[in-house]
Every structure is written in C-alpha cells, then in structure tokens.
Amino acid sequence: MTAFLDFEKQVAALDRQIAELREMGEDPTLNIENDIARLEAKSSKLLREIYAKLTPWQKTQVARHPDRPHFKHYVAGLFDDWMPLAGDRNFGDDQAILGGLARFRGRRVIVIGHEKGDDIPSRMKHNFGMAKPEGYRKAIRLMQLADRFGLPVVTLVDTSGAFPGIQAEERGQAEAIARSTEQCLALGVPMVAAIVGEGGSGGAIALAAANRVLMFEHAVYSVISPEGCASILWRTSDKAPEAAAAMKMAAEDLLALGVIDRIVPEPVGGAHRAPEVAIKALGDAIAEELGTLEEQPREALLLAREEKFLAMGRA
C-alpha cells in the first residue's frame, strides 16, 4: 500500500473509499463497478492536479518518500552482470556507497551510487545513505579503475549528505569528498550522474561532477537540507518550506541555472507509484547521454567538464 504524504490527504481519502467498495464488490448481489470507476477517475485527476503544482518543500517530501526506488532497484532494473566491488584499500568498506562493474544495454560500465535502504535493518546497514570517508575513497578507487580501462561511469545520487559524525571527521571526511569531486573532474571517460532522490551537500556533488547531470522531476539538489538552512537563518526548522523555496533546489530551477543538464519525467504521483516506469525512463535518458559522450575524445570530455563547472554562477 502506498504511503501518502501530508498534501495527498484528499487522494488518500478517495483511495480508502475505493478499497472499501472493492471489499463490498465481492458480494455478487452488488454492482458497484461504476462507482469504483468514477472514484478512480476522480483520484487520478486530483493526483495529476496536485503534482502539477508541487512546491519545492513538497518535492523534498516526494524525494524522501520511503517507497522511492533506491540504488539496488536501479541496478536490478537497468544493469546486467552486476559485480560489486568493496573497500577503499585503506580503512574498510562503507555500505552507504555501493559500486562495481556492470553492463548497461550492451556497454561495460562502472556504476556507483548511494544506497539508503528500505527497511530498518537495511537503513542501519547502509547508514541511511550517508557515506563516511571510506565510501568516497571507494568511489575514487572505482573511478580510477574506470579511467584505466576506458569504462564509462554512471553514478546515482540519493543522500541527505555525508555522515557528520566525529569518526568521519577524524578520518578526513572533507578531504575525501574533495578528492572524490576532483576525481570526477579528472576522468577521461564519459561520466553521467543522476539525482534520483535527494542530492544533499558535498555528499552529493562528490559523485555528481559529471559531463551530464540528470535529475528526476521530483528530486531535489542543494548545498544543505531545507531544515538545516532554516535552522541557521531562522533558528528553527519550522521555516523549512520557506528555505526550500529560497534555495532553488527543484529540478526546473536548477536546469535554468545550468546546474543540471536534463530533467527526467516521473510517473504521475512520483517514482514511488510506478517504479518500473521511472527506472526505464532514467535508463533511456542515461543511454542517450552516454551515446553522445562516447563519440568524444578524452581531451574533449575533460575540457567540456571543466568549462561546465567553471561556468556555474557566472553572469
């Protein structure tokens, strides 16, 4: 059953009525198919209207939806011959960032991404997608491997930010994020990044300094969470909706600013309502971008990536 968000209460009420009618419909003496069809049409129309005018804060809630597809779902739906590679060859293995070798529609690639988990045990295992330094150093190692063997890199970003704990700081969190960002920019192979849920702070950019940055329609991408921004500016997280609007963290704003290159449409009601459709749409977009980038020589890829990020923020 779909978990409804606060702004979907009317849709939730209609869906409850439909469920109740379906239970009654098991009685052969009743004929309520027309009532069910009418309510389904009303629910679908209302959902389209709501999602056509989501605020940045509402998009943030959609991006965080627990049923939204995660890294493991994209790997299962888009990649063949998946072979995970573990460890940073220095400290250990961080399960918040996963990566490895795979085939993507006939291409050999390296795929890397954040994994949040989808139940309590897996969320604890993956630390809610908040990586420690060894996670970013694992990503660096895999990107260097891709460069050495001429394999395109695909990254899937979905994190509220890097892990802020004291252990991470002791092991060089800021340096690891900076090195990972630097490695993205230094790649001589095509790199496509996709913001599939939350793209939070340096924890996101460390995997997203790519030739092409794609973003789902209802994903968010920002330097800090709305709650964090509100706590700094207004001393209260209650102002998170205002902060979300001010930060221009929605896909359409970021496309206009040149921070991302392409918006990937989601099914009506968000990727969590039709995961297979969303996964296929992302796969089609990645394939198209890789097809364009593969025609470019190493020097052109490096120069284009450098110019792309240097141009951000310039008038």
Residue 1 inside a domain? The answer is: no
| Pair (216, 252) in one structural domain | yes
Q: Looking at the structure, do residues 174 and 287 belong to the same domain, yes or no?
A: yes
Q: What is the pLDDT of residue 315?
A: 57
| Beta-carbon contacts of residue 198 (< 8 Å; ≥ 6 apart) | 60, 63, 64, 129, 158, 159, 160, 204, 219, 220
pLDDT for 29: 57
Over the stretch 178-234, which tens digit does the pLDDT of each residue have? Answer: 999 999 999 999 999 999 999 988 899 999 999 999 999 999 999 998 999 999 999
User: 245 burial class (0-12, 13-18, 19+ CB within 10 angstroms)?
Assistant: middle
pLDDT, position 293? 95
Flag residues of the chain having pLDDT under 70. Answer: 1, 25-31, 315
Q: How many helices (H) and strands (E) does the chain have?
A: 14, 8
Answer yes or no: do 203 and 264 share one domain: yes
**Nearest one of 110, 201, 95, 211 to 157, comparing CA atoms:** 201
In a domain, residue 134? The reply is yes
Same domain flag for 28 and 115: no
- Say which CATH number the domain at 278 has: 3.90.226.10
- Domain shared by 257 and 214, yes or no: yes
224 sits in the region (left: phi over 0; alpha: psi -120 to 50; else beta) called beta
- Can you list the positions of beta strands (E) in the chain? 80-84, 97-104, 107-114, 153-159, 191-200, 212-216, 220-222, 262-264
* Residue 34: per-residue pLDDT: 78
How many domains does the chain fold into? 2
32 and 171 assigned to the same domain? no
Whether residues 123 and 241 share a domain: the answer is yes
Q: What is the pLDDT of residue 28?
A: 60
Provide the whole-model pTM: 0.91
Cβ pair 232, 14 in contact under 8 A? no
Co-location of 96 and 153 in the same domain: yes
Tell whether 25 and 90 lie within a shared domain: no
Residue 126 lies in a domain: yes
Looking at residue 77, its amino acid is: G
Q: How far apart are CA 65 and CA 149, in angstroms?
A: 37
Does one domain contain both 274 and 232? yes
| Domain assignment of residue 204, given as a range | 59-311
- Same domain, yes or no, for 183 and 41? no
- Do both 210 and 127 map to the same domain? yes
Give Cβ neighbours of residue 188 (< 8 Å, ≥ 6 apart): 147, 298, 301, 302
